[in-house]
């Protein structure tokens, strides 16, 4: 299967549903709708999963801290969806231990922590009912002082009593997991298009929205796509899209929360270390690809989402949180890569974005005079599949169409059709270890799943694509696959969202030139375009001064 940009081949097809936004929410809604029999078109103004969906902590979690807000329903939903994502995307989602150090003079309440842990275990009573036994999670446990230090020697030892260890999941490549939802939707007939900006809406004589005006970002060509219903999955841009539809300022406002992450050389062991900050909130040090991923911040952002950039102060906030609460100190020079993004939150009138709910709302905009539009607000990566299920309830009500039953909870996502990960990896090594290094087979097999055979085949057939381009064995053939099969259009798409070549910082010049050579030849870039693509990458990896 190949992803194609529908905007390039549109021939006046009509759809049941148009989706604006190709992040995880839009991708999940597209999959849910197309798999239940609707004709779907999805448009993303930049790249799939390129904004909020890419700026995550790479976790699939139940939301332990939401228990403090008494959000039991949200936690239960998150825990159930955590298990489902582990089932339907087994190559992307893996168990990960979390450690909470417990101190004698801890700011929190130990009884509150203990009750919270037992509640978390109780609410995740079905966590062992996984398709693949390697995805089963254990209940929490307490490690003694000595066991805690043995496991994580850089934890602050002064006043340390013991630690609590529990399990959630890690998503090893959220951008590719988002893409798996997009591909799954396409397998059921959805038409999708990245770099396709919805600039306006089309209205019927009765002033109901009946389509969208879409511009191809590369050709500047504009087309009108028709459907009786449009779903606004714009995330942090949702209220801006509403303003375009209403032609006046909408009453709905998206509360935006800034989340910053940095990547350094490894400074912790194999646990996610949760650091309680003195002024409230927490910071995590997470293992990822042999490095430490550190984040996230949770700070309200009031500017335009289009103007958002990671600031130097935000990076120092992360550094200070580590240095004030952890024994392994880091500096600005230790940052290998940094990224940030904005989360869309439902505004609950809380004092700050850290305490704001991660629940979601599905709104019928007809109630405010914008008929033909549904807006999704809030949510988080873990619950995106179930969010889509609730969107479908309103779609069914609005369209009066009899839809087939939902089955997204019991089918593998595209490329993830793997019953037993250990057995799958064993067979991958038997088939490919004679051609490639062990690290290469591991990385590509997990990140491409059952579609990895095409990536390997490109490298076997053409020695030029057999070159290793990252520390954990990635191949140049992934660049070819990204362009031929996954609609990669820019250097950022290739380096950050289709492959992991650039997710651990700027590749060296030799590797960067190899990637650019393949991309420019396959995508017919002019010299000017090549220079622009290169400049965008240099800017991306330049830390704010």
Average confidence (pLDDT) over 471-492: 98
Output the pLDDT for position 269: 97
Contact 64, 358 (CB under 8 A): no
3-class DSSP state of 485: helix
Output the pLDDT for position 106: 60
Q: Do residues 351 and 369 both lie within one domain?
A: no
User: Which range has the top average pLDDT, 209-213, 300-304, 399-403?
Assistant: 209-213
Q: Do residues 444 and 529 both lie within one domain?
A: yes
As beta bridge partners, residue 78 has: none
Whether 63 maps to a domain, the answer reads: no
Residue 219 has pLDDT above 90, yes or no: yes
Output the pLDDT for position 522: 98
For the chain, the maximum distance between any two Cα atoms, rounded to a whole number of angstroms, is 74
pLDDT tier for residue 248 given thresholds of 50, 70 and 90: low
**Of the candidates 186, 486, 245, the residue with the CA atom closest to the CA atom of residue 366:** 245
Q: Do residues 162 and 187 both lie within one domain?
A: no
Residue 213 has pLDDT above 80, yes or no: yes
Task: Say how many domains are in the chain.
Answer: 3
Whether 415 maps to a domain, the answer reads: no
pLDDT one-digit tens code per residue, 300-352: 898 899 999 999 999 999 999 999 999 999 999 999 999 999 988 765 433 44
First to last CA, the chain: 44
Q: Percent of the chain scored above 90 by pLDDT?
A: 84
Output the pLDDT for position 402: 87
Output the pLDDT for position 238: 93
In order, the DSSP letters of 33-95 are HHHTT--EEEE-SS-TT-SGGGSS-SEE---GGGGGGT-HHHHHHHHHHHHHHHHH-TTTEEE
As beta bridge partners, residue 198 has: 214
Average confidence (pLDDT) over 41-60: 96
Q: Domain limits at 92?
A: 72-171+259-355
Whether 216 maps to a domain, the answer reads: yes
48: domain CATH number?
A: 3.50.50.60
Structure tokens at 84: 């489902």
Residue 65 has pLDDT above 90, yes or no: no
- Lowest mean per-residue pLDDT among 171-180, 255-264, 358-367: 358-367
510: domain CATH number?
A: 1.10.8.870
Q: Do residues 96 and 121 both lie within one domain?
A: yes
pLDDT one-digit tens code per residue, 7-26: 999 988 999 999 999 999 99
Contact 258, 300 (CB under 8 A): yes
Q: Do residues 381 and 333 both lie within one domain?
A: no
Distance, CA of 264 to CA of 503 (rounded, Å)? 12
DSSP classification of residue 138? P
Q: Do residues 248 and 263 both lie within one domain?
A: no
**Of the candidates 486, 481, 414, 498, the residue with the CA atom closest to the CA atom of residue 450:** 414
Output the pLDDT for position 352: 44
pLDDT tier for residue 245 given thresholds of 50, 70 and 90: very high
Output the pLDDT for position 68: 81
339: domain CATH number?
A: 3.30.9.10
Output the pLDDT for position 351: 40
Output the pLDDT for position 355: 39
pLDDT tier for residue 358 given thresholds of 50, 70 and 90: very low
Instruction: For residue 279, give every residue at least 6 positions away whose Cβ sits within 8 Å of its Cβ, in sequence order, or none.
Output: none
Q: Do residues 282 and 340 both lie within one domain?
A: yes
Output the pLDDT for position 401: 85
pLDDT tier for residue 255 given thresholds of 50, 70 and 90: confident
3-class DSSP state of 468: strand
Residue 392 has pLDDT above 90, yes or no: yes
Global pTM reads 0.96
Whether 467 maps to a domain, the answer reads: yes
Average confidence (pLDDT) over 515-535: 97
Q: Do residues 430 and 391 both lie within one domain?
A: no
Whether 531 maps to a domain, the answer reads: yes
Distance, CA of 184 to CA of 412 (rounded, Å)? 9
Cα 351 to its chain centre, rounded Å, is 26
Residue 252 has pLDDT above 60, yes or no: yes
Whether 57 maps to a domain, the answer reads: no
Q: Do residues 266 and 377 both lie within one domain?
A: no
pLDDT tier for residue 428 given thresholds of 50, 70 and 90: very high
Task: Using alpha carbons, list the distances in angstroms from residue 379 to 273, 383, 424.
Answer: 25, 7, 33
**Of the candidates 269, 381, 241, the residue with the CA atom closest to the CA atom of residue 328:** 269
Q: Do residues 164 and 189 both lie within one domain?
A: no
Average confidence (pLDDT) over 408-434: 98
Residue 299 has pLDDT above 90, yes or no: no
Whether 186 maps to a domain, the answer reads: yes
Distance, CA of 230 to CA of 377 (rounded, Å)? 14
Output the pLDDT for position 394: 94
Output the pLDDT for position 347: 52
Write the burial class of residue 537 (CB in 10 Å: 0-12 exposed, 13-18 middle, 19+ buried).
Answer: buried
Angle of CA points 478, 482, 486, to nearest 5°: 145
Q: Do residues 362 and 350 both lie within one domain?
A: no
Whether 452 maps to a domain, the answer reads: yes
Mean pLDDT, rounded, of the chain? 93
Average confidence (pLDDT) over 171-191: 98
Q: Do residues 427 and 508 both lie within one domain?
A: yes
Output the pLDDT for position 350: 39
């Amino acid at each position: 299967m190949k992803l194609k940009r529908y905007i390039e081949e549109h021939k006046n097809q009509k759809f049941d549903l148009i989706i604006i936004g190709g992040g995880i929410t839009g991708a999940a809604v597209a999959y849910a709708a197309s798999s239940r029999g609707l004709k779907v078109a999805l448009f993303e103004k930049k790249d799939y999963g390129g904004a909020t969906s890419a700026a995550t902590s790479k976790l699939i979690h139940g939301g332990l801290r939401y228990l403090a807000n008494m959000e039991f329903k949200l936690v239960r939903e998150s825990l159930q969806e955590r298990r489902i994502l582990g089932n339907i995307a087994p190559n992307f989602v893996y168990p990960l231990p979390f450690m909470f150090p417990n101190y004698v003079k801890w700011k929190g309440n130990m009884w509150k922590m203990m009750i919270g842990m037992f509640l978390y275990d109780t609410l995740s009573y079905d966590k062992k009912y996984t398709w693949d036994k390697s995805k089963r999670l254990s209940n929490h446990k307490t490690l003694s002082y000595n066991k805690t230090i043995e496991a994580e020697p850089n934890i602050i030892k002064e006043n340390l009593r013991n630690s609590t260890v529990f399990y959630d999941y890690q998503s090893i490549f959220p951008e590719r997991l988002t893409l798996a939802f997009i591909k799954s939707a396409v397998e059921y007939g959805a038409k999708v298009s990245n770099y396709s900006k919805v600039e306006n809406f089309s209205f019927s004589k009765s002033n109901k929205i009946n389509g969208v005006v879409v511009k191809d970002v590369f050709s500047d060509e504009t087309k009108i796509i028709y459907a009786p219903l449009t779903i606004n999955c714009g995330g942090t841009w949702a209220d801006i899209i509403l303003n375009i539809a209403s032609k006046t300022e909408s009453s709905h406002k998206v509360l935006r929360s800034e989340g910053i992450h940095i990547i350094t050389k490894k400074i912790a062991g194999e646990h996610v270390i949760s650091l309680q900050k003195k002024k409230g909130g927490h910071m995590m040090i997470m293992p990822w690809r042999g490095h430490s991923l550190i984040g996230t911040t949770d700070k309200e952002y009031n500017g335009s989402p289009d103007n958002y950039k990671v600031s130097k102060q935000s990076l120092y906030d992360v550094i200070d949180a580590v240095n004030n609460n952890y024994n392994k100190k880091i500096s600005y020079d230790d940052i290998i890569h940094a990224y940030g993004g904005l989360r869309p939150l439902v505004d609950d009138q809380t004092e700050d974005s850290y305490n704001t709910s991660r629940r979601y709302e599905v709104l019928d905009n007809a109630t405010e005079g914008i008929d033909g539009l549904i807006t999704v607000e809030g949510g988080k990566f873990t619950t995106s599949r179930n969010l889509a299920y609730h969107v479908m309830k309103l779609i069914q009500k609005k369209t009066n169409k009899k839809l087939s039953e939902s089955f997204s909870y019991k089918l593998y996502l595209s490329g993830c059709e793997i019953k037993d990960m250990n057995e799958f990896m064993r067979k991958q090594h038997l088939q490919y270890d004679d051609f490639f290094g062990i690290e290469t087979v591991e990385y590509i097999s997990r990140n491409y799943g059952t579609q990895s055979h095409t990536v390997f085949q490109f490298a076997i057939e053409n020695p030029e694509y057999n070159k290793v381009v990252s520390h954990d064995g990635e191949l140049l053939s992934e660049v070819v696959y990204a362009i031929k099969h996954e609609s990669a259009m820019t250097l950022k798409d290739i380096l950050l969202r289709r492959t992991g070549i650039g997710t651990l910082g700027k590749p060296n010049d030799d590797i960067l030139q190899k990637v650019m050579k393949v991309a420019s030849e396959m995508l017919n870039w002019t010299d000017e375009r090549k220079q622009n693509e290169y400049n965008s990458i240099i800017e991306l990896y330049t830390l704010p001064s």
